[in-house]
């Protein structure tokens, strides 16, 4: 057996022309299957006058129309719980997950077959192996598990690779630090913000992580994972190298990872995905080097096909030659750069102002309100709602604070919200588009650790 820097040397170093042939064959097969088995996708193709016969190479991908989160949500809302987009009977599923964030109050729901679930772990293997994780590593997951897909795939990837896996579930932060020390973890997986939170806790406990055994920190779930200053901070506090990954629940796994050469960006997993970058306004594909919205097509998940899904993530794609590692997979320069829309990312959980408003407006005592984001103690992000009490509801104001906080947390995977009242007339009013989000965080879109209290602690969010 030869040692390889690549998990899959054959495809990771495949000449681009061959890679495109492979993508074309997988696209054709995926369209044929979705045409036959998924009514949602059949309608999509028919509307665009696309038939499987028209898909002859990867160049024909552009014949397929974009899909959106809204279309996915409408499909599932029209025929709960999964709509008519499944390409396999639900009885063949072995896994259920759902999105952490919500546009509206209904999360996206996903099912995975036995093969899907193994493929999800497989894609994570590209990342872990590519960043130097091996069978003799002890890998700690700061992840709450549950229906949040987060690091689930990474957990199984590490088991597959033969690592010793340390799942920390709902442990408190001090107990997590103790476990890392006690078991001699060599790799830690967390959101960037929670990696900092763990380091802070360790300092308070008198544990010097920089002199400990951890040599790699693998982060996901927030743009901060690719912000150089944040990475440097984590690296200095842990005495370890930090690598970013990114994925999404809609895919079930990651589609980009940093290799050990770390060229300032992340490789795309291009044997299993096609990543396009488009102008979010015109939908036109952008050339290398231009910032745009990433659009993903997946060849992996059998239960739910994904074609040209508009992710709303902002990226800049550059050629694989940016990196000296030898992979022929292209690179997202600087990772995920942000969001096209206004989604807020708080400790690894997506928060949509529109969804918050939908919840807030169900509480009668709320008059005007504001969504507040702030950084506490220099590193920990908090989100909350401040509201003016509607006249006549004053006696119920404190009860409303409690109920609203519970309601918001329940709809955001347990993310804690503080809720407080404001003096009447103190909050801004708007004549046109309301701007109710007041973001005072040091790093917008993430960048600060989770609360030390267990329920809000999050793992990464593909």
Partner 1 sequence: VKDLVGRDMTPAETRLVRTLKHVEALLSDPELPPCALANAREAYASLWIAANDLALVVGKPDGLPL
From 46-54, 113-121, 220-228, 323-331, span contacting partner 1 (CB under 8 A) = 113-121
CB of 361 to partner 1, least distance (A): 43
CB of 421 to partner 1, least distance (A): 54
Q: Is 133 helix (H, G, I), strand (E, B) or coil?
A: coil
Dist. CA 123–CA 117, nearest whole Å? 10
CB of 87 to partner 1, least distance (A): 8
CB of 116 to partner 1, least distance (A): 9
CB of 159 to partner 1, least distance (A): 12
In degrees and rounded to multiples of 5, residue 350 shows phi and psi of -75, 130
- What are the beta bridge partners of residue 306? 298
Query: In sequence order, what are the residues at sequence separation of 6 or more whose Cβ sits closer than 8 angstroms to the Cβ of residue 444?
Result: none
Dist. CA 62–CA 168, nearest whole Å? 43
CB of 367 to partner 1, least distance (A): 53
- Cβ atoms of residues 381 and 193 within 8 Å: yes
From 117-125, 242-250, 363-371, 438-446, span contacting partner 1 (CB under 8 A) = 117-125
In the complex with partner 1, which residue's Cβ is closer, 24 or 334?
24
Which residue in 113, 173, 249, 298 binds partner 1 (CB under 8 A)? 113
Dist. CA 418–CA 131, nearest whole Å? 38
Residue 271 within binding range of partner 1, rule CB under 8 A: yes
In degrees and rounded to multiples of 5, residue 384 shows phi and psi of -160, 180
Dist. CA 222–CA 251, nearest whole Å? 17
- Cβ atoms of residues 454 and 359 within 8 Å: no
Residue 63 within binding range of partner 1, rule CB under 8 A: no
Residue 340 within binding range of partner 1, rule CB under 8 A: no
In the complex with partner 1, which residue's Cβ is closer, 202 or 303?
303
Residue 302 within binding range of partner 1, rule CB under 8 A: yes
Helix (H) or strand (E) holding 65: none
CB of 24 to partner 1, least distance (A): 10
Rg (CA), the chain: 22
Q: Where are the alpha helices (DSSP H) in 79-221?
A: 114-130, 152-161, 173-183, 192-205
CB of 165 to partner 1, least distance (A): 18
Per-residue x/- track, 6-45, partner 1 (CB under 8 A): --x-xx--x---x--xx--xx--xx-xx---x--------
- Region at 331 (left for phi over 0; alpha for psi -120 to 50; beta for the rest): beta
Per-residue x/- track, 70-89, partner 1 (CB under 8 A): ------------------x-
Q: Note the residues at the interface with partner 1 (CB under 8 A).
A: 8, 10-11, 14, 18, 21-22, 25-26, 29-30, 32-33, 37, 88, 92, 113-115, 118-119, 122, 271, 302
């Amino acid at each position: 057996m030869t040692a390889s820097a690549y998990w899959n040397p054959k495809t990771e170093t495949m000449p681009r022309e061959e890679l495109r042939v492979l993508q074309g064959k997988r696209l054709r097969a995926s369209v044929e299957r979705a045409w036959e088995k998924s009514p949602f996708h059949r309608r999509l193709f028919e509307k665009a006058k696309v038939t499987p016969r028209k898909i002859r190479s990867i160049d024909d991908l552009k014949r397929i129309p974009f899909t959106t989160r809204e279309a996915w949500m409408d499909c599932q809302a029209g025929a709960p719980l999964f709509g008519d987009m499944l390409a396999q009977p639900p009885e063949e599923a072995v896994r259920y997950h759902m999105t952490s964030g919500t546009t509206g109050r209904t999360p996206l729901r996903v099912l995975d077959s036995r093969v899907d679930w193994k493929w999800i772990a497989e894609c994570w293997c590209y990342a872990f192996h590519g960043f130097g994780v091996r069978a003799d590593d002890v890998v700690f997951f700061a992840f709450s598990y549950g229906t949040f897909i987060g690091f689930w795939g990474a957990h199984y990837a590490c088991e597959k690779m033969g690592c010793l896996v340390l799942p920390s579930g709902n442990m408190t932060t001090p107990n997590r630090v103790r476990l890392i020390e006690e078991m001699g973890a060599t790799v830690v997986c967390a959101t960037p913000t929670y990696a900092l939170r763990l380091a802070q806790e360790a300092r308070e406990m008198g544990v010097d992580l920089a002199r400990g055994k951890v040599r790699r920190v693998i982060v996901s779930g927030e743009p901060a994972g690719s912000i150089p200053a944040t990475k440097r901070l984590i690296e200095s506090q842990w005495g370890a190298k930090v690598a970013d990954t990114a994925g999404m629940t809609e895919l079930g796994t990651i589609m980009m990872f940093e290799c050990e050469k770390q060229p300032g960006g992340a490789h795309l997993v291009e044997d299993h995905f096609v990543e396009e970058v488009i102008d979010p306004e015109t939908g036109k594909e952008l050339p290398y080097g231009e910032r745009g919205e990433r659009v993903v097509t997946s060849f992996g998940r059998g239960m739910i096909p994904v074609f040209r899904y508009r992710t709303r993530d902002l990226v800049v794609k550059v050629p694989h030659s940016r990196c000296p590692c030898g992979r022929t997979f292209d690179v997202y320069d600087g990772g995920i750069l942000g969001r096209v829309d206004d989604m807020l990312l708080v400790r690894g959980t997506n928060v949509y102002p529109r969804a918050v408003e939908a919840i807030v407006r169900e509480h009668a005592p709320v008059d005007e309100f504001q969504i507040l984001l702030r950084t506490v103690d220099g590193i920990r992000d908090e989100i909350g709602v401040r509201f003016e009490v509607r006249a006549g509801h004053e006696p119920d104001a404190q009860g409303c604070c409690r109920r609203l906080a519970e309601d918001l947390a329940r709809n955001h995977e347990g993310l804690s919200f503080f809720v407080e009242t404001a003096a009447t007339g103190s909050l801004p009013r708007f004549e046109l588009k309301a701007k109710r989000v007041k973001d005072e965080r040091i790093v917008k879109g993430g960048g600060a650790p989770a609360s030390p209290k267990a329920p809000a602690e999050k793992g990464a969010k593909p």
